[in-house]
Chains A and B, each alone.
Chain A
């Protein structure tokens, strides 16, 4: 253990200069260290080269490239000190070179903004989902999504404010499948104690940081007694260390039923991978659809995207997609890079376009096109932003 702490102190000294690189060496000594050190994902990668950050941008498929172009446009307009390193990933390519390039780029820069990469069914099952590969290789273990009702968006439920923390690397998405006999396929769902403790810890820390009072664990432990039972047990263990936060649990089918009838009762929710998929999409739908940004946090890396993670193939290229989610994801990224002023400025512009100007795209009942909404946001930034134009 002395050797471990020695390496830790070494890494603390070298940290400002080497950024995330020493982190990898420390990881070799085991995951137990992770709970003892400061989360370096809270420290953004250093801004070298004149105070400008470099961020990896992965356009993806469908509406991804268009929306990310709009994000770049808005950032350029607002003079945000971020340079984007664009890495293309070809979803039709069977080899994993593209995605490995992207992963290497993210390791270099520490932060990424991405669109969803399509997974084509017709290819062989050995070709795994690119998005999943990215998440597991970079160990982005927590997917965080904050769903809030927006005043100007017409929804059936009001006053929703739910934070969803979803385990992002294991569970049903382990991609471990085999066909034992022709016609009989087994798919393995893996739940480990370390990952469950890790995500529960993250959830409670985040709840405390944001001043939330209640964490609900969503599970199906009545049927999957060992798997979800382990997850629930880990959550309870972590909960005992946070007496100021109430902890309760709910079975996933009851949760979805409650979400569509009384979503206001939920505060923070933590869950394994697949239930997280269902619950986060239900919550996103409750507040209006494609309006929520999502963040994937790992120990050393952070990747930002839309919460609903869809490619939107059917609306690609038609200029009707809603840019809000991607732009808000960009703002979350700016917050992560500690560029709070820029983030607030852009976020306010987006919200005022939505709430005051009421320029909405088709999915929330308006008639605006994507470009119109983006233009309106930029106009807003121009009129309200500080020192943007010389006047």
Chain B
């Protein structure tokens, strides 16, 4: 394909000049893409932004996925957001060489558009291939999982005023999957911490804090017990803190964070941590604001790829019955708009969503109401039009 030839030529040129294109160096892959796109003869802007419309890959997912995806599409249409959706399916297929991979058209679409929105994916138990989420993570090197947890006015939980962000390293740590039985009855699981991954996530955390006007970043660790591994992680966080003096940096033990989080979550701002602690803490924070049904989440990858997703399950028992709650996917889509710089639309849609939840007139079953998904969606669309 002509586009690919162009791109590889540019890459080779840049490589010759001593700059290489992978997430490891200081070159922002996004900048390169933009440069490459600008050199194309057709339009002076990157491929995904043609005549003011961004193209986004949409992966509806399984179970309630299609319903909530269409709900989000409807709301975006009502808000007149400049988004064009490209639907793709990511059921794993066996590629050449016997390795499981996602369908090539999905991969190509994602690589082109760079931004994706994903619904819940089913993890098959005996299909022989690894979970789809894991596959996506490996394919696009999604190294950071970002979960902003903000209390939703109108959805009462014992915790009000929660406003924090958990940034979790998503590729290594305790979830490296390296396990073996040494002798019968003794199992060893390896937790892997590398300098490169820790540096990447620390840099990202500070960039995020800077771009989103957050005042402080806290590194969560257990370096008193895991001296070398969490020690390395902590060192890299400290180095990144040195480069970003405008953001305050603190370090806190995992147990202290847990203890304080359930007593007073307002003292936390941005939290950065390795994989396992991130998993537990991000779900803890999701629980504080009301559960996975209302929590947005984004995965940032190398090369400028970002996939935003809803983290709840596929809920096969309510699939197809118009009972699903699209809030999680909607808030993730709002996060996506903010990532793309469309703050006006993001604010409008978010405000509409929160207003409807606060009004408590039209709520889906899990939020405590009795309405259908379509009614909820309709109410939000109406509110979006009113806010215009």
Contacts and interface: CB of A to CB of B under 8 A. Distances in A.
A119 B191 CA distance: 21
Given A172-B226, A260-B262, A278-B255, A186 B190 contact: yes
Contact of B195 (A129, A183, A288): A183
Contacts of A309: 255
A121 B224 contact: yes
Nearest to B227: A125
B276 A261 contact: no
Interface string A157-199: 1000000000000001101011100111111111111100000
A2 interface: no
Given A190-B187, A226-B179, A129 B224 contact: yes
Interface residues of A, number: 60
B225 interface: yes
Given A184-B194, A185-B192, A189-B174, A230 B187 contact: yes
B223 interface: yes
A254 interface: yes
Interface string B270-295: 00000010011111101110011000
Nearest to B221: A121
- The 6 closest A-B CB pairs, nearest first, are A183-B195, A257-B287, A193-B185, A253-B283, A285-B262, A156-B158
Interface in B222-237: 222-229, 231-232, 234
A308 B255 CA distance: 8
Contacts of A288: 263
A319 interface: no
Contact of B191 (A186, A229, A281): A186
23 contacts: A119-B224, A129-B224, A185-B232, A188-B190, A189-B191, A190-B189, A191-B186, A191-B187, A191-B189, A194-B185, A223-B174, A226-B187, A226-B189, A227-B179, A227-B187, A277-B255, A278-B255, A282-B261, A282-B284, A285-B263, A289-B259, A308-B255, A309-B255
B142 interface: no
Contacts of A284: 259
A289 B286 CA distance: 21
A39 interface: no
Contacts of B254: 277-278
Interface string A239-279: 00000000000001110111111000000000000110110
Contact of B228 (A125, A193, A223, A261): A125
A192 B187 contact: yes
Interface residues of B, number: 55
Contacts of B196: 183
Interface in B197-247: 222-229, 231-232, 234
A156 B159 contact: yes
Interface string A219-231: 0100111110110
A286 B281 CA distance: 15
Contacts of A43: none
Given A224-B174, A286-B262, A259 B231 contact: no
Interface of A: prevailing SS: mixed
A211 B224 CA distance: 37
Contact of A177 (B177, B226, B281): B226
A277 to B, nearest CB: 5
B157 interface: yes
A275 to B, nearest CB: 8
B354 interface: no
Contact of B226 (A187, A252, A257): A187
Given A129-B225, A132-B225, A178-B228, A257 B283 contact: yes
Contacts of B291: 257, 261
A256 B185 contact: no
B258 interface: yes
Given A172-B191, A260-B287, A225 B227 contact: no
A191 B183 CA distance: 11
Contacts of A128: 227
B5 interface: no
Interface in A289-323: 289, 308-310
Contact of A192 (B185, B193, B260, B276): B185
Nearest to B255: A281
A310 B255 contact: yes
Contact of B179 (A129, A225, A285): A225
A257 B284 contact: yes
Nearest to B183: A192
B1 interface: no
Interface in B10-43: none
Given A125-B227, A191-B189, A310-B256, A278 B179 contact: no
B181 interface: yes
A190 B181 CA distance: 10
A186 B189 CA distance: 10
A186 to B, nearest CB: 5
A175 B225 contact: yes
Contacts of A184: 192-195
A185 B194 contact: yes
Contacts of A258: 287
A190 B225 contact: no
Contact of B261 (A175, A226, A229, A285): A285
B175 interface: yes
Contacts of B262: 259-260, 282, 285-286
Contacts of B255: 277-278, 280-281, 308-310
B227 to A, nearest CB: 4
Given A121-B223, A121-B234, A285-B259, A189 B280 contact: no
Contacts of B157: 261
B318 to A, nearest CB: 19
Contacts of A194: 185
B266 to A, nearest CB: 13
Contacts of A172: 174, 191, 225-226
Contacts of A277: 222, 254-255, 258
